[in-house]
Amino acid sequence: MKESDHSSVWERYVEAKKHAFEEEPPDGKAEPMTIEELERAIAEAAAASGVPETGMPPRASVHPTSRNTWSRWFYRLLVVLFIALIVLLFRWGQRLYQGN
């Protein structure tokens, strides 16, 4: 997923919220909306702009994990350390037997 995809989803969410808050009632009275009416207006505006009803994309799509990259490097490091340990133990053993 590209970084631009994240910002466009966020921008659409912000626009939907602005539209829901700034929308004037059809009868022209400017009464404050109830929570239910406001949630319904936000859901309608979000659906009209193509944003999911929740309004926000999943966190995993906005902030992808780098778990695969870190685990790959971790296992590579373990392999290198294991090989180094084998080489060092082999040389240490050669020194012990050659010294006697």
Gap between the Cα atoms of 84 and 81, Å rounded: 5
Check residue 25 and give its pLDDT: 55
Gap between the Cα atoms of 45 and 35, Å rounded: 15
Check residue 15 and give its pLDDT: 75
Tell me the whole-structure pTM to 2 decimals: 0.39
Residue pair 55/13 in contact by the 8 Å Cβ criterion: yes
Check residue 31 and give its pLDDT: 65
Gap between the Cα atoms of 45 and 51, Å rounded: 9
The two structure tokens encoding residue 32: 């404050």
How is the chain split into domains, by residue range?
1-64, 66-100
Output the tens digit of pLDDT for each of the chain's 100 residues: 455 555 677 777 777 777 666 656 555 555 666 778 877 877 777 777 766 655 567 777 778 888 888 899 999 999 999 999 999 999 999 999 887 6
Gap between the Cα atoms of 31 and 17, Å rounded: 18
Residue 92, SS3 per DSSP: helix
How many other CB atoms are there within 10 angstroms of residue 9's CB atom?
19
